[in-house]
Amino acid sequence: MNNKISIDNEIKTLDKLDKTFYSRYLFSLLLKKQMKFNRMYEELHSIFKPGITYLPYFDELIFSARASNNLENLLKEIKKKDNPLKDYLLSLINYAKGKYEKSLAFLNSYLKNHKTQPLISYKLSYIYRNLGDYPKAFSALNKIKGDGWIINKKLLAEGSLSFLSGNHNKALTLYRKGFDIANKINDNQTKAIALVDIAILDDMSGNTGKARTGFSNAITLANNIGDYETKAFALSELGVSFTFTSQLIDARENYLDSFDIYKLTNNNYRLALIANNIGKLYMRLFEYNSAMNFFNEGIKYSGSNKRSLAMNLLGIADAYTNLSDYSKALKYYKKAGAISSQIKELSLTAEINSGLGALNFNINNADKALEYYKKSIKFYEKINDTYSKADIYQKLGRVYISLDQLNKASESIRTALILAKKDRDSYNEALAALDLTAIYFIQNKTKKASLALRNVSPIIIKNNFDYLKARQYVLQGKIDKRKKLFNKAKTNFLNALKIAERLKEYNLQIEALYLLAKINERINEPKKAGSYFAKANDLIIKISNPLFTNTDVQISYYSSKENVYNAYADFLIKHGNYKKAFELIDNSRSRNTQQTLDDLKIRSLIKDKQVLNKLYDYSWMLSSGLYNSGQIDSIKTKLYALKSRISKSIPGLKNYFKNNNVLSLSQIQNGLEDDENIISLYSSKDRTYLFYINKYNFNYYTINLTRSELLKLIQDISPYYNSKINNRASFNQDLFSFNTKAAYNLFKKVFSPVIKDIPKGEKIIFSPSFNVQSFPIEFLVTKYDSSYSDFSYSDKNFLIFDYSVLYTSSAHTYLKQKENNLKNNGKVLVVGDPFINNKSNEFATRRSLLSKTAGFLPLKYSLQEINDISNIIHVDKTLEGNNATETNFKLNAGNSKLIHLSTHSFLDDKQPVIFFSNENDKKNDGFLELNEIVGLHLNSDLVVLSSCSSGLGKVDKSEGVLGMTKAFFEAGAKSVMVSLWEVNDKYTSQLMKYFYEFLSEGKSKSDALRLAKIKFIKKGSPNPYFWSAFVIWGNNQPVKLKEGFHFKDYTLLITGILLIFFLAILVRIKRKKRVAV
């Protein structure tokens, strides 16, 4: 049965024998060779009796039941009947169904009452292998003793486990040993499998010819003996080999032939793996929809097989990365990574790190990409996978190019080129050659770049590498542009765009559109240039919108495209289209915050998670580019119906669904009050621009200052703004050294033209550019007398005297926050005077952080601050001293109307941290960080962070400050008051007292802060260091507060009680006198 035979002759021979168990068993094997699985099952099932103990029979019975779709029927039958091998049979059935945990449980139950046998140990090892427990799989194989065919199976199984564990040399030794024994005893089935296993290692080592001979021999041998599953195994691995050399059509034919065979036998384990291979193939063909379909099929077939499940999850993650949906990609990478860490398979871990590297590179996070690629290379080095190493070295080179480390880039790409040529991997060879061309171009070696491009062209044309052809067009276009061959350059960029659109390569489309815009601008065709800029910007928005669910990913992606929308803005300004320029600049700022605010509204109103998920899924599907026109129409219809249904039940969402993600100037103006004035600052390399918007007017002002000149003016105001200073935590009022002349110069040169048009007493809403985020304009000096000292403050007129000031990342964001009417519980929470134990374990772990400061001195005036607030307004909950813990704060913060935090905060590597009492807190460590703030679920009208540097953080070019302000907005706060530098405890307490006095009178937040600052200047100190650090971002509406219980109230109450008491006594005395009379 293990050799090439004549089926007819074998049947005739069997017909001469008595119809015994063994003759019918042998007949079923002949039916198997003919792929007559229904008849095979009928034959084996007819002799299925409780007394059978021949284990190979049960293997064939389960195989035939699986192949003929009779597993469920057999399962029911086995459950009903008593059989000493019942648990063993249930284990085999569950294994066939991919339910490996159940299979293991039944096999262990069987072994409690039966002695183990070599075949059972072999089965046990495969269960452990599929569950990802390789050590236990090895242990089960070590128990197998004997000789002949079972030892062959053991050797190949040990080889496969060694291969999966990354020990390829040991695997090869075991495969060869198994092959030699199989050859000696004429075990052709094992021999064919060993040929495939050896060929896989040859392929990975670059011996492509030898590998394919091995695969072909295995296919011939399996065909001869009628072993179709081994044939399918060989076909699939031959398909993998063809992908290495980019023979993708040949690869697909082999994969599909293999897939069809496994479908006939219902082999879910193999179907999961082949589905993954086919999915990867379609990825190479840029057919992402087909790829996703196969990866999802792979997940379905995987059952509880952790390896194949992780591989298909990884495939989906890679597909989402290529579709620029990085949030979904990250989600699937994490899922695959969690499984990979359980099974500890090096090649899978390497692939996941490679995918994460690609994701981070695409969102401009080069350092992270570098980290992941280096990890991936280490894993591939261990398993000597030259094909994958070539791929990673090439990707590593591209990261180094982006970091302008051209020597390292060249070294990595040349390594990739050598490995690719060794493997005859024409795709990676061509890709590496293109990247070397890019390096030559950057180094101004134009002739060398042109020559390299000509040399690689035949490989690209011969193999129809469309993506590489598009990249070739881009490089050739750049070379032509440098040579001032503008028409040729334009043609090349157009060709690149056409291919990128067909392949749905969005980032390449954006690059081509941007280059077309710039070349048309260069040859003075502004209409075409504007059109290409607009298309590139629209595509960036289309890609970035679905990413908002992962803040870091969306922000990084949008920041990576900053050069595109800045170039577009400069183009619009240059051609006098100032309104459109403002709309572009405003809508490109803080896009993640804008979408988060929308999401807060939607999530707060839609309680049904399934409905919410459908809403987001339909939106993503429309922007993914995966679907044809008919499918898109269907999705649009479903989305419209869903939104209509939601709007009927929740009318408050109707406007949200109508609103476009981009607001026009008129929409912004309609959202403003009569006394609200927006000033938006934008700096290009050559000019600075101010845009002024109120309800009725729009104006723009061109300031002849470059970005660096503007920063120099700001730095002149105070050494605090000197970018060369590393540690600003030690700044006091003397080091701050506020220069009033410099503050006046900045006002005069930049802000005076627009400020003079704003009536005094009105509100200024300032939207700063990314480079002036920690700069409070209210300390600008509006009048200057040279006869007074530049460091005298009491005689100066500050901007705050004439205007209240509010801050926003964009006009769009301000209106979103203005519309935020989500309800809270109306309660006020005040936290202050925390006790911080410097000797706690948690504090010790932050020693490196704390060493940057002079230590955490007690906040001497914090208790007075919270007591003053309690006297002014009604406070529902006060947390102080040991009770001011992180846990108590989290328990009480949710849905509070107003939250006031008087504590320490610190900027650790540009990541802010708020400190709480850590003495009696078993649940939390006393350090409130950004990710914890985001999870608070607040609807607060106002959060006041009365602490040092609470408004600082990492500055992103598109999103602004990534700090506590943004985190509290994401948590649901409508407005936040923060500080921009180290603040004085005593004077802060005084300023806060004044602020709450005016806030309690019904003043808007910015008016209350303005009046508080003016009062402080008069009664405390006019030095801007003390009063201008605190600023308000967000919603400006008044906060309705109840009056606090003042000391005078206690006095009046006690006086009243005493008066009533004395009156009562007096009345009683008079009554007694009357009685006496």
pLDDT category, 1067, cuts 50, 70, 90?
low
Specify the amino acid at residue 898.
L
In a domain, 191, yes or no: no
What pLDDT is recorded for position 1077? Answer: 42
Write out the two tokens for 481.
């542009």
The 3-class SS string of 1052-1075 reads HHHHHHHHHHHHHHHHHHHHHHHH
What pLDDT is recorded for position 499? Answer: 94
pLDDT category, 655, cuts 50, 70, 90?
low
Same domain, 904 and 991: yes
Could you tell me how far CA 176 lies from the centroid of its own chain? 45
In a domain, 400, yes or no: no
What pLDDT is recorded for position 468? Answer: 93
CA angle 289–291–292, rounded 5-degree value: 65
pLDDT category, 51, cuts 50, 70, 90?
confident
pLDDT at 482 over 50: yes
Residues 536-546 have pLDDT tens digits of: 999 988 887 77
Residues 1028-1062 have pLDDT tens digits of: 999 999 999 999 998 875 545 555 556 667 677 67
Same domain, 940 and 791: no
pLDDT at 406 over 60: yes
Question: Residue 698 phi/psi, 5° resolution?
Answer: -135, 135
Which residues on neighbouring strands pair with residue 676, listed in sequence order?
A: 763
Range(s) of the domain holding residue 14: 1-115
- In this predicted model, which residue has the larger pLDDT, 227 or 691? 691
Same domain, 799 and 745: yes
In a domain, 567, yes or no: no
Question: Residue 915 phi/psi, 5° resolution?
Answer: -100, 140
Same domain, 817 and 917: yes
The listed range with the strongest mean pLDDT (43-57, 716-730, 793-807, 903-917) is: 793-807
Which residues on neighbouring strands pair with residue 767, listed in sequence order?
A: 680
What pLDDT is recorded for position 6? Answer: 65
Average pLDDT over residues 620-649: 78
Using DSSP's 3-state secondary structure scheme, residue 759 falls into coil
pLDDT category, 961, cuts 50, 70, 90?
confident
The listed range with the strongest mean pLDDT (232-241, 354-363, 1049-1058) is: 232-241
Average pLDDT over residues 806-823: 87
Contact (Cβ atoms closer than 8 angstroms) between residue 914 and residue 925? no
- In this predicted model, which residue has the larger pLDDT, 66 or 730? 66
pLDDT category, 572, cuts 50, 70, 90?
very high
Same domain, 1043 and 1076: no
Residues 589-604 have pLDDT tens digits of: 877 777 777 776 677 6
Last residue of a domain, one of 808, 838, 858: 808
In a domain, 972, yes or no: yes
Same domain, 734 and 828: no
pLDDT > 70 in the chain, percent: 90
What pLDDT is recorded for position 848? Answer: 41
What pLDDT is recorded for position 621? Answer: 74
What pLDDT is recorded for position 18? Answer: 66
pLDDT at 3 over 80: no
What pLDDT is recorded for position 851? Answer: 41
Specify the amino acid at residue 542.
K
Give the whole-angstrom CA distance, residue 754 versus residue 699.
9
Residues 108-151 have pLDDT tens digits of: 999 998 888 899 999 999 999 888 888 999 999 999 987 777 88
Give the whole-angstrom CA distance, residue 123 versus residue 62.
13
In a domain, 343, yes or no: no
pTM of the model: 0.72
pLDDT > 90 in the chain, percent: 48
Please provide the average confidence, as pLDDT, over all residues in the chain: 86
pLDDT category, 5, cuts 50, 70, 90?
low
pLDDT category, 656, cuts 50, 70, 90?
low
pLDDT category, 582, cuts 50, 70, 90?
very high
What pLDDT is recorded for position 376? Answer: 92
Last residue of a domain, one of 89, 115, 141: 115
What pLDDT is recorded for position 220? Answer: 94
What's the CATH number where 735 sits?
A: 3.30.420
pLDDT at 223 over 80: yes
CB neighbour list of residue 890: distance below 8 Å, 6 or more residues apart: 924, 932, 936
CB neighbour list of residue 711: distance below 8 Å, 6 or more residues apart: 721, 723, 771, 772
Same domain, 703 and 824: no
Contact (Cβ atoms closer than 8 angstroms) between residue 967 and residue 945? no
Same domain, 28 and 78: yes
Which among 215, 221, 219 is positioned nearest to 188, based on CA atoms? 221
What pLDDT is recorded for position 619? Answer: 75
pLDDT at 659 over 60: no
Specify the amino acid at residue 970.
E
Q: What beta strand segments (E) does 904-1029 contain?
A: 905-908, 911-915, 927-928, 942-946, 953-956, 960-963, 975-979
Count of all residues that appear for the chain in the document: 1077
Average pLDDT over residues 456-478: 93
What pLDDT is recorded for position 660? Answer: 56
Write out the two tokens for 964.
């506590």
In a domain, 190, yes or no: no
Residues 847-881 have pLDDT tens digits of: 444 444 434 556 788 899 999 999 999 999 999 99
End-to-end CA, the chain: 135
In a domain, 73, yes or no: yes
Same domain, 715 and 824: no
pLDDT at 927 over 80: yes
Contact (Cβ atoms closer than 8 angstroms) between residue 739 and residue 796? no
Average pLDDT over residues 504-513: 92
- In this predicted model, which residue has the larger pLDDT, 924 or 174? 174
Specify the amino acid at residue 129.
R
What pLDDT is recorded for position 726? Answer: 47
Q: How many domains does the chain contain in total?
A: 4
Same domain, 942 and 1061: no
What's the CATH number where 1 sits?
A: 1.25.40
pLDDT category, 1074, cuts 50, 70, 90?
very low
Average pLDDT over residues 172-182: 93
pLDDT at 535 over 90: yes
In a domain, 700, yes or no: yes
Last residue of a domain, one of 808, 840, 856: 808
Same domain, 786 and 926: no
What's the CATH number where 889 sits?
A: 3.40.50
Same domain, 929 and 1069: no
For residue 78, give Cα distances in angstroms to 72, 92, 111, 543: 10, 12, 18, 54
Sign of CA dihedral 907, 910, 916, 922: negative
pLDDT category, 478, cuts 50, 70, 90?
very high
Give the whole-angstrom CA distance, residue 397 versus residue 501.
26
Residues 559-569 have pLDDT tens digits of: 778 889 899 99
